[in-house]
Structure 1
Amino acid sequence: MPKLLIAICLLISIQSFSQTTLAPLTVDKIMRDPKWMGTSPTSTQWTGDGQYLYFSWNPDGALADSAYYISLKDKKPRKASVTETQDLRSTGTFVYNQARTAYVYGRDGDVFFVDVKTGKTKRITQTTEIESGAQFSFNDTKIVYSRSMNLFAWDIAGGETMQLTNIRAGEASPAPAAAGAGAGAGGPRRTGPPTATAGAAPPTPRADVNLQEEWMKNDQLRYFEVLKSRKEKREKGEAYTKTLPKPKELKSIPLGDKALQGLNISPDGRFITYRLSKAAANAKSTIVPSYVTESGFTTDIPARTKVGAPLGSTEFYVYDRAKDTVWLVRTDSIPGIRDLPDYVKDYPKQAEERKKRNAARAVSISGPFWSPNGKYAVLDIRAEDSKDRWLMLMDTTSGKLNLLDRQRDEAWIAGPGIGFGGTGWIDDQTFYFQSEATGYSHLYTFNAATNEKKALTEGKYEVQQARLSKDKKTFYLSTNEVHPGEQHFYRLTIATGKKERLTTMTGSNQVTLSPDEKYLAILYSYSNKPWELYLQENKPGAKMEQITDKAQSAEFKSYNWREPEVISFTARDGATVYARLYKPANPAPSKPAVLFVHGAGYLQNAHKWWSSYFREYMFNNMLVDNGYYVMDIDYRGSAGYGRDWRTGIYRHMGGKDLTDHVDAVQYLVKNFGVNAGNVGLYGGSYGGFISLMALFTEPNVFKSGAALRPVTDWANYNHGYTSNILNEPFNDSIAYKKSSPFYFADGLKGNLLICHGMVDVNVHYQDAVKLSQRLIELGKDNWELASYPMEDHGFVEPSSWTDEYKRIFKLFEKTLKN
């Protein structure tokens, strides 16, 4: 070998050795305040004129992030002053008129109007009350806003303000009028008791009348002529006043015992829509005790209800200002509203009873989404059991609903852009929405005049975000079309269907488009490179210009962070599972392996960008330094892979999501010679749940595990998440029995560490306590519980993180290296 080449290799080896010895990874180092790593920008937002880009950043290592900005003139980050921060108006808060010649926004509880051409700002309100929800209406001639639960309209030309609604809190809803009653049906009704006369029988007492006081009043009028005369004059005056024409009053809409939500108005100003909600009675909440407090006394933290608790009810109303009428939108006739879910077949008695009742399912209604001319209104209606989503055209003249699109899923309706901002109007007739009809969330249009539905995108990838351009000729899309582990930004021309990719760098590109759509502000990261801010012209192939460079401190850079290999393997049912793989250069003699299990269930971590689990990423690097193979998979239920993957855990959490991990172990054994007897796993929240299920139901595969803040019994968790996947405990007990680690604790053979914050208001500490008692009664002695008295679900104290991960590392070192 040439001497020069030997020298170069030796130098590289020395540098590599020096790098490792100078900056070895330890739990104490990893789990410090994350500021030691550097600072990444977040929360990008453009100013209205598109000349300045603001973002949150902390290059000085202060206690918290501060507002910074760049100008398009020099693109140099500068710290914003308090005044500049207060004056910042994010484009996300602007509401434009149809011609985009003006916009309104709210600030400090008041409403402001801006003329785009002149740049002049006019303050519409300046009150001690809070005005919000400003929008254009009355064919863009007025600005409508909300104040104290009512709508008001400010006339742009004349400056007059008028009240549009008369909604009154606390007043009971009026009782229906009796048949034949009404104006002109007779004279005024007498409400008081008849006057007593000598020898007459005493009047029947009324609950609201004091008979003694009524007798004294009549007696006074009988013996004092002046009183009697004044009374007669007053009554004549009152009678005359009643004959005078009255000014028209706004229709009173009493709320009774309900709460007002979603107050909205049509573009032409005729229709006002709103929801009335009523909280469920007897919905018991959990109490979370806090033991370490400033006062020295234990305090109680009110927490959430549990899955299956009684739910509140909502009603959707339309107020027709032209006809001065209010009507309730009824959903008991929409297609499939009485359909039963398939799972009831497992409960014949329940199925029979529900068929007999034939009850319409409860729903929640979002919208309406009005067409620009106000002719059409679309309601986004979701069944309370999440099995159906209907997009319905509302006939505002009759109140009837006509089906635009129905999405039925025997598991549950969800997916990117579905019910969370992926809807709107392209023009007066064309409505757009997202649907998983093909198994992946894609963008569709529906023509309200012709009933034609059209797919704008297609393929085995997800449209994760869709935004309509200001000229409404183009969609800007974020998708994972290139690879499930990448996110890129595209421009789609609606008329031709032509799609252009605008970002090029491998990883995640999270884009904020400038108001004039000339620039892309891009938060970009790669697997081993935290987020930095870039700027790019809105052109395919344009150069990305880096704006910030403080995401990695010198100390952070002193370690050669691994680029995990994103691989895939085939699960037992033929499905393709994506994973991050970390391989040690020098495996420990025992050939151990550890699986990291991401949390949240519906979340993605086998990707090519900087993980939100950055502490776990660093810990995984440390494990590899110590001779472990590490794998992190996007198991069944994870985000980014379409409907079938998302719902793969329906009615059995701890089913395919767990067997995916077992298959991952087999992949490691087969391809890298991992010792099948020395495999552990760890994870938090949903990852903690999987860790428990692994040790309890696959004890011959997993020798040790750390379950962090785990769900131990899904009947203890919240309704919104759990009922989608497992239905309700009293309706589908089979699903809960199959899915809760509590019922499988007897299977524990290996070594278990449970870590849980005691003031966790998400997964309650009660879960850990309940499982502990179960393990005690089963006589298990190969487990321990580490409790953290001052930590919620997501730990915040470096000392807690350090203690937790030292225990995890100790567990693996002790049990997987023999």
Structure 2
Amino acid sequence: MKRLFAIALLGFGASLTQAAEQPTLELIMSDPDWIGNAPTEPYWADDGRSVYFRQKRSGEDFSDLYQLGLGGEAPAAVDEAQPPADSGHNKVYNAGRSRVAWIERGDVYLKDPVVGTVRRVTATSADESQLQFTPDGKSLQYERDGQFYHYTESDGSTALLTDIREGKNPDAKPDFDPLRAHHARNYRTVVEAERRRQAGQQADRQRDQRPDPVFLGDEYRVLERRLSPAGDVLALVVTDKDAETGRKGSMPNYVTADGYVAVREVRTRVGRNNQVPQQVLLVDLASGNIESVDTGALPGIDSDPLAALRKSALGWHVQRGADEAEVKEALEAPEQRDVSVNGLAFSPDGKTLALQFIANDFKDRWLATLATGGERAGKLQLQHRLSDEAWINWEYNQFGWLPDSQTLWFLSEESGYSHLYTKGIAERRARALTSGKFVVREPVIGPASQYAWVVSNRAHPGNYEIYRVPLAGGELEQVTDLDGVSQFALSPDGEKLLVSRSWFDRHADLYLGNSDGSGELSQLTNTVSERYDAIDWTVPEIVQVPSSHVDRPIYSKLYLPKDHDPEKSYPAVLFVHGAGYTQNAHMGWPYYFREFMFHTLLNEAGYVVLDMDYRASEGYGRDWRTSIYRQMGHPELEDYLDGIDFLVDRHGVDRQRIGIYGGSYGGFMTFMALFRAPDAFAAGAALRPVADWMHYENDYTRRILNTPLIDPEAFQRSSPINHVAGLKNPLLIASGMQDDNVFFQDSVLMVQRLLELKKPDFEMAIYPLDPHGFVNPESWLDEYRRIFRLMENNLK
């Protein structure tokens, strides 16, 4: 049943008294402060009677903190120079919830939520992190500068728990050396001086209650560290210190304060380095012993899921002139697959460590546990394995412990969609708490550990509501009914929800409701400006475009002119959202909010606009995501061609007057559209586009295309630079020169290829100071003026 939501407060809001104005490109592409600034990072006060949020200050690059009472008060600015009265955004509770701790501006604070007293635990120039309570709830642990500290509330004392050092122990007994032995026999004064020095160091450590240093040796570089709540074991994620990480790129900046060209290093390219394997070390803090966690027992760790591709790649490279022996040696599979550590979490009692490993070929994910004491100490016990012949998703990998220290919760795409599972570490099977052809994400375990609250698109792929499910098993129950895209923060007692909800044409604002779904939801803030609110924006319709290739529709946003008549003839513009993993055909405020406003302008100029969640988009499950495996740009183009048929058949679009544009992956797809289906598109604008996947970064590209060594055919078919010959119609390329995501070099290489093929109808726009996501309004304006002019000159 639809709930009506009453506006409890119009904070910074719109009165709808301002006369409507016509949007212009200059307004749309100006500093977005004119739209109003949404509340961000919302969280609860400790007593549950008010909430906090941050809001960007207009005209600045920083935000202010506000407190908002739930009785209808106006938001009040918080003086952040004063000691905090409430715990912050990222807080931790002890087991009995009698204490709450948090880190604010790099320092640790501790509060008794019943009495209300706040104690500042640290006041250092360094930043503390990894805050947690000990199992008895009476002490805190935190990390600073790579070492862990123990704070005891009862006496206010702080003790150093770890002294972990990379490199060799300078006081370790050296290997036998006859010269050293000769001097030891003959010069007792030297020997005695060294003994006294070491004895003095030991006495100092004992007097100051400092732990003995633990030296890791010269071979390791520490990437991550986790301390057991019991304070007895430290887990370290390490790599080989001397591992070859590959040659980095360089990026010049020609517009500088001193007038000289500044050059900085940027990332390596896919396949140009061997992804450095990681391993986990367990340090016994009492003895200083170091033990390496053996991953050799993980199922499938010694298999080679790329064996067939290696065989095919050998022939491909040799046919193109490579030396067979050299290629064969380069393609040799490892005896055991390398892994990376994707998460570490000690159980609340500190007795068990949960670890998540992902194979460096991205075909497997393992969730495992190991006991930190007893006869099974250091031996991995598999809890869950997720395999994918394409790639393990970079989303939906969260996991954690329930308070009993015997049960894990985790997300998995095992069913084809992200769902929530629990598993007792001594049990054989996991329990699926949710199931169905929809996505579950952002789980929060309630304070009583009776329910988990999640965000899900169960009702519609583009509608993200909040649900709860009993941890003991039961029905998934919807607890909000706002429509749009929602996120939430659970109140300290678990009874209320602070909801951040956005709509097609409105950025996120805050709502309040009961966590069990009872009663009405009330709106707490309205931060959209009067000027924005007064404009009659086109609110798109989400349509289901029939697919001619899969038995599922392609959900898309359709923008129609307000006087649209399907019997008339219209030009159309297709927008391609970026990838990484994105969904844009949803009911919330889009990441591409400038493009949303631009589409209203296009509608007013007489264009129909279609924005498609092509195959590879988020929100539609594993199969939709992985359909581009080894063939980027091919299924997506098929979807856009189906989109053209849909517009022509149902919405009066002229097939000869269709343009396409997009940025990043959208720029890549614009290339593929104009090169591989040149007769379908009259013009296209490729913004910050990928031209050659061999120049992109490792983690993203290797998942989808493997590497250029192992899967050269995938790179050949997926890179636009190999399809340039097909270009027939006008092309705009626009790139920021400070783009450290898709390098400016990609656009330069594309221009060179266009020149070599003597293509006559393209132009290049460069933006010297802008990164991947433009930051300068004048650059946004220039870019979209060019896009609009391109469409006007070629589609009208």
| TM-score bracket for this pair, using the shorter chain length | 0.7 to 0.9
Q: How does 1:598-617 map to 2 (within 5 A)?
A: 598-617=577-596
Distance 1:517 1:747, change over 3 A: same
Q: How does 1:106-255 map to 2 (within 5 A)?
A: 106-127=103-124, 129-137=126-134, 139-171=136-168, 191=180, 193=182, 250=212, 252-255=214-217
Contact 2:111 2:119 in 1 (8 A): yes
**Aligned position for 1:329:** 293
* CA distance in structure 1 between the partners assigned to 2:690 and 2:200 by the alignment: 70
- Counterpart AA for 2:146: M
Distance 1:120 1:291, change over 3 A: same
Distance 1:20 1:652, change over 3 A: farther
**Aligned position for 1:344:** 308
Q: How does 1:511-550 map to 2 (within 5 A)?
A: 511-550=488-527
- Counterpart AA for 1:430: T
- Counterpart AA for 2:682: K
* CA distance in structure 2 between the partners assigned to 1:131 and 1:246 by the alignment: 27
* CA distance in structure 2 between the partners assigned to 1:464 and 1:158 by the alignment: 42
Contact 1:364 1:384 in 2 (8 A): yes
Shift, 1:28, TM fit? 2.3
Contact 2:573 2:660 in 1 (8 A): yes
Shift, 1:710, TM fit? 0.4
Contact 1:597 1:681 in 2 (8 A): yes
* CA distance in structure 1 between the partners assigned to 2:172 and 2:780 by the alignment: 60
Q: How does 1:692-731 map to 2 (within 5 A)?
A: 692-731=671-710
**Aligned position for 2:415:** 438
Residue-by-residue CA offset, 1:461-501 (whole Å, 9 max, x unaligned): 00021110111111011111111111111122222413332
Distance 1:407 1:355, change over 3 A: farther
- Counterpart AA for 2:110: F
Matched, 1:379 2:355: yes
Residue-by-residue CA offset, 1:229-267 (whole Å, 9 max, x unaligned): xx8789789889999998787352235364333322223
Matched, 1:269 2:231: yes
Matched, 1:469 2:415: no
- Counterpart AA for 1:501: Q
* CA distance in structure 1 between the partners assigned to 2:474 and 2:132 by the alignment: 32
Matched, 1:813 2:792: yes
* CA distance in structure 2 between the partners assigned to 1:391 and 1:242 by the alignment: 44
User: Which of the residues 267, 270, 295 maps onto 1:307?
Assistant: 270
Unpaired runs of at least 5, structure 1: 1-18, 182-187, 197-217, 219-230
Partner SS for 1:677: strand
Q: How many residues are paired up?
A: 754
* CA distance in structure 1 between the partners assigned to 2:663 and 2:191 by the alignment: 76
Distance 1:111 1:77, change over 3 A: closer
**Aligned position for 1:370:** 346
- Counterpart AA for 1:256: D
The TM-score normalised by the length of structure 1 is: 0.85
Contact 1:138 1:269 in 2 (8 A): no
**Aligned position for 1:98:** 95
**Aligned position for 1:283:** 246
Residue-by-residue CA offset, 1:117-153 (whole Å, 9 max, x unaligned): 3333334444555543232226444322223322232
- Counterpart AA for 2:143: S
**Aligned position for 2:482:** 505
Distance 1:61 1:194, change over 3 A: closer
Distance 1:611 1:715, change over 3 A: same
Shift, 1:286, TM fit? 1.3
Structure 1 stretch displaced more, 749-758 or 306-315: 306-315
- Counterpart AA for 2:673: A
- Counterpart AA for 2:368: M
User: Which of the residues 33, 36, 50 maps onto 1:35?
Assistant: 33
Shift, 1:176, TM fit? 10
Distance 1:32 1:239, change over 3 A: closer
* CA distance in structure 1 between the partners assigned to 2:775 and 2:285 by the alignment: 52
User: Which of the residues 413, 429, 439 maps onto 1:452?
Assistant: 429
* CA distance in structure 2 between the partners assigned to 1:238 and 1:590 by the alignment: 93
Shift, 1:609, TM fit? 1.4
Shift, 1:344, TM fit? 3.3
* CA distance in structure 2 between the partners assigned to 1:785 and 1:461 by the alignment: 42
Partner SS for 1:347: helix
Residue-by-residue CA offset, 1:432-470 (whole Å, 9 max, x unaligned): 111111100001111112323211000000002111011
Partner SS for 2:81: helix
Residue-by-residue CA offset, 1:171-208 (whole Å, 9 max, x unaligned): 46999998xx9xxxxxx986155799xxxxxxxxxxxx
* CA distance in structure 2 between the partners assigned to 1:51 and 1:438 by the alignment: 41
* CA distance in structure 2 between the partners assigned to 1:557 and 1:668 by the alignment: 30
* CA distance in structure 2 between the partners assigned to 1:337 and 1:422 by the alignment: 21
Distance 1:324 1:296, change over 3 A: closer
Shift, 1:768, TM fit? 0.6
Structure 1 stretch displaced more, 290-299 or 773-782: 290-299
Higher relative contact order (CA 8 A, sep 6+): 2
- Counterpart AA for 1:374: G
- Counterpart AA for 1:562: T
Distance 1:53 1:653, change over 3 A: same
Contact 1:503 1:541 in 2 (8 A): no
Contact 2:661 2:667 in 1 (8 A): yes
Distance 1:581 1:411, change over 3 A: same
User: Which of the residues 56, 66, 69 maps onto 1:68?
Assistant: 66
**Aligned position for 1:202:** none
Q: How does 1:81-92 map to 2 (within 5 A)?
A: 81-83=79-81, 87=84, 90-92=87-89
Contact 1:415 1:643 in 2 (8 A): no
- Counterpart AA for 2:676: T
Unpaired runs of at least 5, structure 2: 1-16, 316-327
Residue-by-residue CA offset, 1:574-621 (whole Å, 9 max, x unaligned): 232100111222469752111011112520111111212111111111
User: Which of the residues 236, 245, 258 maps onto 1:295?
Assistant: 258
Shift, 1:71, TM fit? 1.6
Partner SS for 2:654: coil
Contact 1:571 1:663 in 2 (8 A): yes
Contact 1:531 1:551 in 2 (8 A): no
User: Which of the residues 80, 86, 101 maps onto 2:78?
Assistant: 80
* Identity value in percent: 37
Distance 1:265 1:758, change over 3 A: closer
* CA distance in structure 2 between the partners assigned to 1:121 and 1:59 by the alignment: 28
Partner SS for 1:87: coil
* CA distance in structure 1 between the partners assigned to 2:309 and 2:771 by the alignment: 40
**Aligned position for 1:737:** 716
* CA distance in structure 2 between the partners assigned to 1:766 and 1:60 by the alignment: 35
Partner SS for 1:675: strand
* CA distance in structure 2 between the partners assigned to 1:643 and 1:163 by the alignment: 46
* CA distance in structure 1 between the partners assigned to 2:701 and 2:92 by the alignment: 36
- Counterpart AA for 2:223: Q
- Counterpart AA for 1:142: S
Shift, 1:703, TM fit? 1.4
**Aligned position for 1:478:** 455
Partner SS for 1:431: strand
- Counterpart AA for 2:381: N
**Aligned position for 1:561:** 537
* CA distance in structure 1 between the partners assigned to 2:170 and 2:412 by the alignment: 39
User: Which of the residues 547, 553, 559 maps onto 1:576?
Assistant: 553
Distance 1:685 1:446, change over 3 A: same
**Aligned position for 2:746:** 767
Contact 2:538 2:600 in 1 (8 A): yes
Structure 1 stretch displaced more, 688-697 or 324-333: 324-333
- Counterpart AA for 1:39: N
Partner SS for 1:423: strand
**Aligned position for 1:594:** 573
The TM-score normalised by the length of structure 2 is: 0.88
* CA distance in structure 1 between the partners assigned to 2:588 and 2:307 by the alignment: 38
Matched, 1:647 2:640: no
Contact 1:434 1:444 in 2 (8 A): yes
User: Which of the residues 39, 56, 60 maps onto 2:54?
Assistant: 56
